[in-house]
Every structure is written in C-alpha cells, then in structure tokens.
Amino acid sequence: MLDSLTVSSTSENPPNNVCNLFPSIISMIILETRKVGRIAGNSHGKIKIVDSISYSFDAGSIYNIVGPSGAGKTSFLRLLNRLDEATEGEIFFRGKLISSYQPTELRKKIAMIFQIPFLFPGSVRENLEYCCKGHRKQKDGHDYSALLERVGLKREFINKNSNDLSVGEKQRVALARSLLLEPEILLLDEPTSALDPSMAQIIEQLILSLSQELGLTAIIVTHNPELAKRMEGQTLLMVAGKLIEHGATDKVLNTPQTELGLKYINKELV
C-alpha cells in the first residue's frame, strides 16, 4: 500500500526543489491541513468550532487527537473525509485537494469508525456485502472467514443478525467492513468509549496491529489521555477549536510546553 504513495504535483501543491531532492521524505505525507477551520451557526450566532489548524499526517503512523469535551476534536475529524466541509483553509490527500475527489471515493480511502458502531439491520454477511456494492465486486457466497478472524470474530458470526451483537462485536464488524474498502487512513472517533474496559483494550490492540500490518494511518479522537499513551505515536492537543500542542505522545502528555497543555494534563480543563 505504501508503495503507491506519491506526491502528485498539482497546481495546488507544486513541486519544489526539496520535493525533487528528497521525494521519499516528502511522499510520507499522506494528509495535510492548511489553516483549516469550520464556522458553525447556532441560535447564539456563529462560532469557530475548528480554528486554523495546519498539520501534516505521515503515512502509516498513529495519531491521537485529545482535548477537553467540546474542543472540536470530532468536528476536525469530520472535515478530513468531507463528512463536513471546511469553511476555511485547505486539506490535501496525497497532494491533491480533497474537494477534487468524489466524496464516496474519498471515504473509501479515508474511512470513519464511530463511537457507536452503525450496522444495517440484517446479517453480518449482508453488512459486509452491502459495503462492497458499488465499490468492489464480491462473488456471491464470498467467504469472509479470514476477515472475521482478523478482527477476532469466529466464522459463525457471518450469519448472525446485527441486532444480536454486543457493542464490541458490532465495532469489530464495523472495522471489518471498513477494511473491505482497503482504506489508507482510518479516522476513529472515540472508538472504544462505548465499550467495557476489557473489550476496549481488545479493540485498541486491533487498531494498533491493523495499522502496523497494513501500513494504515490511524487518526484517533479520544477524550482519554491514557488511551493515547497506550497508542503511542503522535498526539495533537486541541482546546477551543485550536491545535495547542503536537508532538510525540509521551512528550505532549507528560511534559506539555504550554500553559493550556499543562492545565489539560492537570485535569483543569473540562
């Protein structure tokens, strides 16, 4: 998967000397936001829920987005695959503006996993097949055993009704379904916060191993700094729509460099 990552020279992202000299370094950037913002309206007027965020995500790495409730973490994540549109700034996927991709095509490459897994009524098989309709032709009766096994479910689950699954099992099916799209980036919004601690840990491990084995970039929104520490990778701290700090997870969450960062780890921001 990583082999196919290249920076395309578009008018939005022209090649420069650095690109030419070090293409392998530059080609590691898979997703980039430049001064991205979103203004949303409510009964009290308009507010900037995401405020001028510029950041580059490398292919195959793990990113945590942490911050207090209402910081804009979910709002920022939803801009990355056009579930919501940025009202300011630009977002590039593989060097091309995300607005130049068809939204459905983009969401295959940049798939979203939600806190409460959404499955259609019907069997697990129907859920997996539905995902592929119009995306990738699966033969009738396709054997999904290996895929189910990969997310820790026995093959018998294929005929179970989605309503009969626990939240943890549903989250595994949701992960399996998104893997069928062969995404390059997984966006995960609080993927374990609806689960009991032991299931949460199993799903965490699954996300880590999928990222490593498939070279997936995982961007995980969490209100839980302990989860971010277990995921390691890089951490972005958001407060009031802004990106306050970013860097290696242990640095950001153990030795923050800003007053707001310090307040966050001391649990003074709620």
Ligand X SMILES: Nc1ncnc2c1ncn2[C@@H]1O[C@H](COP(=O)(O)OP(=O)(O)O)[C@@H](O)[C@H]1O
Q: In this chain, which stretch among 22-30, 73-81, 180-188, 248-256 interacts with ligand X, using CB under 6 A?
A: 73-81
Q: Which of 33, 74, 192, 211: binder of Mg ion (CB under 5 A)?
A: 74
Inter-residue contact 241 to 71 (CB < 8 Å): yes
192 is a site residue for Mg ion (CB under 5 A) = no
H-helix segments, the chain: 17-21, 23-26, 73-80, 103-109, 124-132, 145-150, 167-180, 197-214, 225-231, 249-254, 259-265
The closest alpha carbon to 134, from 107, 161, 112, 162, belongs to 107
The closest alpha carbon to 140, from 154, 126, 122, belongs to 126
CB of 215 to Mg ion, least distance (A): 27
Strand partners, 219: 63, 187
CB of 73 to ligand X, least distance (A): 3
CB of 125 to ligand X, least distance (A): 33
CB of 238 to ligand X, least distance (A): 7
Q: Report the residue closest to Mg ion, judged by CB.
A: 74
Q: Which of 42, 163, 198, 266: binder of ligand X (CB under 6 A)?
A: 42
Q: Which of 7, 26, 31, 49: binder of ligand X (CB under 6 A)?
A: 49
69 is a site residue for ligand X (CB under 6 A) = yes
Q: Which of 37, 60, 72, 233: binder of ligand X (CB under 6 A)?
A: 72
Task: Count residues binding ligand X (CB under 6 A).
Answer: 11
71 is a site residue for ligand X (CB under 6 A) = yes
Instruction: Spell out the residues 6+ positions from residue 37 whose beta carbon is closer than 8 angstroms to its own.
Output: 48, 50, 51, 52, 53, 86, 87, 88, 89, 241
27 is a site residue for ligand X (CB under 6 A) = no
Distance CA 220, CA 261 (A): 19
81 is a site residue for ligand X (CB under 6 A) = no
CB of 220 to Mg ion, least distance (A): 12
DSSP string, 196-242: -HHHHHHHHHHHHHHHHHHT-EEEEE-S-HHHHHHH-SEEEEEETTE
82 is a site residue for ligand X (CB under 6 A) = no
Binding site for Mg ion (CB under 5 A): 74
Residues at the contact surface with ligand X, assessed by CB under 6 A:
40, 42, 49, 67, 69-75
